[in-house]
Structure 1
Protein backbone atom coordinates (compact mmCIF):
# COMPACT_ATOMS: atom_id res chain seq x y z
CA UNK A 1 0.00 0.00 0.00
CA UNK A 2 1.23 3.50 -0.84
CA UNK A 3 2.07 6.07 1.79
CA UNK A 4 -0.71 8.55 2.43
CA UNK A 5 0.41 12.16 1.98
CA UNK A 6 -1.47 15.30 2.88
CA UNK A 7 -0.54 17.97 0.33
CA UNK A 8 -0.39 21.45 1.88
CA UNK A 9 -1.53 24.50 -0.07
CA UNK A 10 2.01 25.76 -0.60
CA UNK A 11 2.90 22.68 -2.68
CA UNK A 12 -0.34 22.90 -4.65
CA UNK A 13 0.07 26.61 -5.42
CA UNK A 14 2.88 26.32 -8.01
CA UNK A 15 1.44 24.53 -11.04
CA UNK A 16 4.63 22.60 -11.91
CA UNK A 17 4.92 21.12 -8.41
CA UNK A 18 1.17 20.45 -8.28
CA UNK A 19 1.34 18.68 -11.65
CA UNK A 20 4.24 16.47 -10.57
CA UNK A 21 2.60 15.56 -7.26
CA UNK A 22 -0.71 14.78 -8.96
CA UNK A 23 0.98 12.62 -11.58
CA UNK A 24 2.74 10.66 -8.84
CA UNK A 25 -0.56 10.25 -6.98
CA UNK A 26 -2.37 9.10 -10.12
CA UNK A 27 0.40 6.54 -10.66
CA UNK A 28 -0.06 5.34 -7.04
CA UNK A 29 3.44 6.30 -5.96
CA UNK A 30 1.63 7.73 -2.94
CA UNK A 31 -1.97 8.49 -2.01
CA UNK A 32 -2.39 12.26 -2.26
CA UNK A 33 -4.99 13.86 -0.02
CA UNK A 34 -6.18 17.39 0.79
CA UNK A 35 -9.19 19.32 2.06
CA UNK A 36 -11.59 21.91 0.70
CA UNK A 37 -9.84 24.45 2.98
CA UNK A 38 -6.44 23.57 1.50
CA UNK A 39 -7.87 24.00 -2.00
CA UNK A 40 -9.32 27.37 -1.06
CA UNK A 41 -6.00 28.45 0.43
CA UNK A 42 -3.94 27.79 -2.73
CA UNK A 43 -6.67 29.21 -4.99
CA UNK A 44 -6.94 32.42 -2.93
CA UNK A 45 -3.15 32.82 -2.89
CA UNK A 46 -2.95 32.44 -6.67
CA UNK A 47 -5.75 34.95 -7.22
CA UNK A 48 -4.10 37.41 -4.83
CA UNK A 49 -0.65 37.09 -6.43
CA UNK A 50 -1.79 36.68 -10.03
CA UNK A 51 -4.97 38.76 -10.37
CA UNK A 52 -5.25 38.00 -14.09
CA UNK A 53 -6.20 34.41 -13.19
CA UNK A 54 -9.85 33.45 -13.32
CA UNK A 55 -11.38 31.74 -10.30
CA UNK A 56 -13.50 29.49 -12.51
CA UNK A 57 -10.37 28.02 -14.15
CA UNK A 58 -8.75 27.35 -10.78
CA UNK A 59 -11.95 25.78 -9.48
CA UNK A 60 -11.96 23.52 -12.53
CA UNK A 61 -8.40 22.48 -11.67
CA UNK A 62 -9.57 21.76 -8.12
CA UNK A 63 -12.48 19.66 -9.38
CA UNK A 64 -10.23 17.70 -11.76
CA UNK A 65 -7.81 17.05 -8.90
CA UNK A 66 -10.63 15.71 -6.75
CA UNK A 67 -11.71 13.39 -9.57
CA UNK A 68 -8.22 12.23 -10.56
CA UNK A 69 -7.28 10.42 -7.37
CA UNK A 70 -9.14 8.03 -5.13
CA UNK A 71 -10.81 9.47 -2.04
CA UNK A 72 -8.50 12.50 -1.96
CA UNK A 73 -10.81 14.91 -0.16
CA UNK A 74 -10.60 14.71 3.65
CA UNK A 75 -13.62 15.88 5.62
CA UNK A 76 -14.68 15.79 9.26
CA UNK A 77 -11.46 17.22 10.73
CA UNK A 78 -12.81 20.60 11.86
CA UNK A 79 -13.62 19.59 15.46
CA UNK A 80 -9.99 18.64 16.02
CA UNK A 81 -8.49 21.98 14.94
CA UNK A 82 -8.86 23.79 18.28
CA UNK A 83 -7.33 20.84 20.17
CA UNK A 84 -4.00 21.21 18.36
CA UNK A 85 -1.08 23.56 18.90
CA UNK A 86 1.41 24.57 16.23
CA UNK A 87 3.78 27.54 15.87
CA UNK A 88 1.35 29.00 13.32
CA UNK A 89 -2.23 28.48 14.53
CA UNK A 90 -3.45 28.94 10.95
CA UNK A 91 -1.82 25.60 10.06
CA UNK A 92 -3.75 23.57 12.62
CA UNK A 93 -6.35 22.62 9.99
CA UNK A 94 -3.58 20.91 8.00
CA UNK A 95 -2.47 18.79 10.96
CA UNK A 96 -6.09 18.03 11.91
CA UNK A 97 -6.80 16.83 8.38
CA UNK A 98 -3.64 14.71 8.36
CA UNK A 99 -4.73 13.03 11.59
CA UNK A 100 -8.32 12.39 10.47
CA UNK A 101 -7.15 11.33 7.00
CA UNK A 102 -4.63 8.90 8.53
CA UNK A 103 -1.81 10.48 6.56
CA UNK A 104 1.73 9.20 6.94
CA UNK A 105 3.32 12.49 5.91
CA UNK A 106 2.51 16.15 5.35
CA UNK A 107 4.06 17.48 2.14
CA UNK A 108 4.76 21.15 2.79
CA UNK A 109 7.33 23.85 2.20
CA UNK A 110 6.75 25.19 5.73
CA UNK A 111 8.65 22.64 7.78
CA UNK A 112 9.19 25.13 10.61
CA UNK A 113 5.42 25.29 11.15
CA UNK A 114 5.19 21.51 11.66
CA UNK A 115 7.85 20.62 14.26
CA UNK A 116 8.75 16.94 14.27
CA UNK A 117 8.28 16.70 18.04
CA UNK A 118 4.62 17.71 17.59
CA UNK A 119 3.57 16.05 14.34
CA UNK A 120 5.29 12.71 14.88
CA UNK A 121 3.29 11.79 17.97
Structure 2
Protein backbone atom coordinates (compact mmCIF):
# COMPACT_ATOMS: atom_id res chain seq x y z
CA UNK A 1 0.00 0.00 0.00
CA UNK A 2 2.86 2.38 0.81
CA UNK A 3 4.39 1.87 -2.60
CA UNK A 4 1.16 2.84 -4.36
CA UNK A 5 0.68 5.77 -1.99
CA UNK A 6 4.17 7.09 -2.82
CA UNK A 7 3.99 6.58 -6.60
CA UNK A 8 0.58 8.13 -6.99
CA UNK A 9 1.63 11.06 -4.83
CA UNK A 10 4.62 11.69 -7.10
CA UNK A 11 2.41 11.54 -10.18
CA UNK A 12 -0.52 13.63 -8.93
CA UNK A 13 1.19 15.93 -6.41
CA UNK A 14 1.44 18.86 -8.81
CA UNK A 15 -2.17 18.51 -9.97
CA UNK A 16 -3.47 18.28 -6.41
CA UNK A 17 -1.47 21.38 -5.48
CA UNK A 18 -3.02 23.17 -8.48
CA UNK A 19 -6.52 22.14 -7.41
CA UNK A 20 -5.88 23.17 -3.80
CA UNK A 21 -4.51 26.61 -4.73
CA UNK A 22 -7.21 27.47 -7.28
CA UNK A 23 -9.96 26.16 -4.98
CA UNK A 24 -8.64 28.25 -2.10
CA UNK A 25 -8.36 31.33 -4.28
CA UNK A 26 -11.91 30.86 -5.56
CA UNK A 27 -13.09 31.04 -1.95
CA UNK A 28 -10.87 33.96 -0.89
CA UNK A 29 -11.53 36.29 -3.86
CA UNK A 30 -15.22 36.88 -3.00
CA UNK A 31 -14.26 37.63 0.60
CA UNK A 32 -11.70 40.20 -0.52
CA UNK A 33 -14.17 41.74 -2.98
CA UNK A 34 -16.21 43.22 -0.17
CA UNK A 35 -19.86 43.50 0.67
CA UNK A 36 -23.02 43.34 -1.37
CA UNK A 37 -23.31 45.21 -4.62
CA UNK A 38 -26.01 47.66 -5.47
CA UNK A 39 -28.92 46.46 -7.54
CA UNK A 40 -29.06 48.10 -10.96
CA UNK A 41 -31.69 50.82 -11.21
CA UNK A 42 -34.39 50.13 -13.75
CA UNK A 43 -36.68 52.85 -14.98
CA UNK A 44 -40.35 52.25 -14.30
CA UNK A 45 -41.27 52.47 -17.98
CA UNK A 46 -38.48 50.12 -19.11
CA UNK A 47 -39.42 46.46 -19.36
CA UNK A 48 -36.48 44.25 -18.33
CA UNK A 49 -35.38 41.54 -20.77
CA UNK A 50 -34.89 39.07 -17.92
CA UNK A 51 -36.74 38.90 -14.63
CA UNK A 52 -34.91 37.26 -11.73
CA UNK A 53 -36.98 34.49 -10.08
CA UNK A 54 -38.13 35.44 -6.57
CA UNK A 55 -36.05 32.80 -4.73
CA UNK A 56 -32.80 33.62 -6.54
CA UNK A 57 -30.29 36.42 -6.15
CA UNK A 58 -29.41 37.61 -9.64
CA UNK A 59 -26.31 39.72 -10.05
CA UNK A 60 -25.20 41.88 -12.93
CA UNK A 61 -22.12 40.95 -14.89
CA UNK A 62 -19.02 42.17 -13.00
CA UNK A 63 -17.18 45.16 -14.39
CA UNK A 64 -13.57 44.79 -15.59
CA UNK A 65 -11.16 45.15 -12.68
CA UNK A 66 -13.71 43.87 -10.16
CA UNK A 67 -12.16 40.99 -8.17
CA UNK A 68 -15.38 39.00 -8.63
CA UNK A 69 -14.63 38.83 -12.35
CA UNK A 70 -11.86 36.35 -11.44
CA UNK A 71 -14.28 33.81 -9.98
CA UNK A 72 -15.29 32.37 -13.36
CA UNK A 73 -11.65 32.12 -14.44
CA UNK A 74 -10.68 30.44 -11.17
CA UNK A 75 -13.53 27.96 -11.55
CA UNK A 76 -12.36 27.00 -15.03
CA UNK A 77 -8.76 26.65 -13.84
CA UNK A 78 -9.85 24.65 -10.79
CA UNK A 79 -11.98 22.21 -12.78
CA UNK A 80 -9.47 21.88 -15.63
CA UNK A 81 -11.94 23.22 -18.21
CA UNK A 82 -9.38 25.82 -19.33
CA UNK A 83 -7.19 23.01 -20.66
CA UNK A 84 -9.93 21.23 -22.61
CA UNK A 85 -10.97 17.59 -22.25
CA UNK A 86 -7.48 16.57 -21.13
CA UNK A 87 -7.65 19.07 -18.26
CA UNK A 88 -11.04 17.75 -17.17
CA UNK A 89 -9.71 14.17 -17.24
CA UNK A 90 -6.69 15.14 -15.12
CA UNK A 91 -8.94 17.07 -12.74
CA UNK A 92 -11.21 14.05 -12.33
CA UNK A 93 -8.27 11.68 -11.87
CA UNK A 94 -6.81 14.07 -9.31
CA UNK A 95 -10.09 13.95 -7.41
CA UNK A 96 -9.93 10.15 -7.38
CA UNK A 97 -6.29 10.39 -6.26
CA UNK A 98 -7.33 12.62 -3.35
CA UNK A 99 -9.89 10.00 -2.28
CA UNK A 100 -7.21 7.29 -2.58
CA UNK A 101 -4.75 9.35 -0.48
CA UNK A 102 -7.35 9.85 2.22
CA UNK A 103 -8.20 6.16 2.47
CA UNK A 104 -4.66 4.81 2.05
CA UNK A 105 -3.20 7.38 4.46
CA UNK A 106 -5.71 6.39 7.12
CA UNK A 107 -5.00 2.71 6.42
CA UNK A 108 -1.24 3.26 6.76
CA UNK A 109 -1.77 5.14 10.03
CA UNK A 110 -3.88 2.30 11.45
CA UNK A 111 -1.22 -0.24 10.41
CA UNK A 112 1.52 1.78 12.14
CA UNK A 113 -0.69 2.12 15.25
CA UNK A 114 -1.26 -1.66 15.38
CA UNK A 115 2.45 -2.33 14.80
CA UNK A 116 3.36 -0.16 17.80
CA UNK A 117 0.75 -1.93 19.93
CA UNK A 118 2.13 -5.36 18.94
CA UNK A 119 5.66 -4.29 19.90
CA UNK A 120 4.22 -3.08 23.24
CA UNK A 121 5.40 0.46 22.73
CA UNK A 122 3.54 3.35 24.29
CA UNK A 123 0.63 4.12 21.98
CA UNK A 124 0.46 7.78 21.03
CA UNK A 125 -1.51 9.70 18.43
CA UNK A 126 1.67 11.01 16.85
CA UNK A 127 5.15 9.56 17.24
CA UNK A 128 8.68 10.28 16.11
TM-score by length of 2: 0.28
TM-score by length of 1: 0.29
Larger Rg: 2
Structure having the higher helix fraction is: 2
Structure having the higher strand fraction is: 1
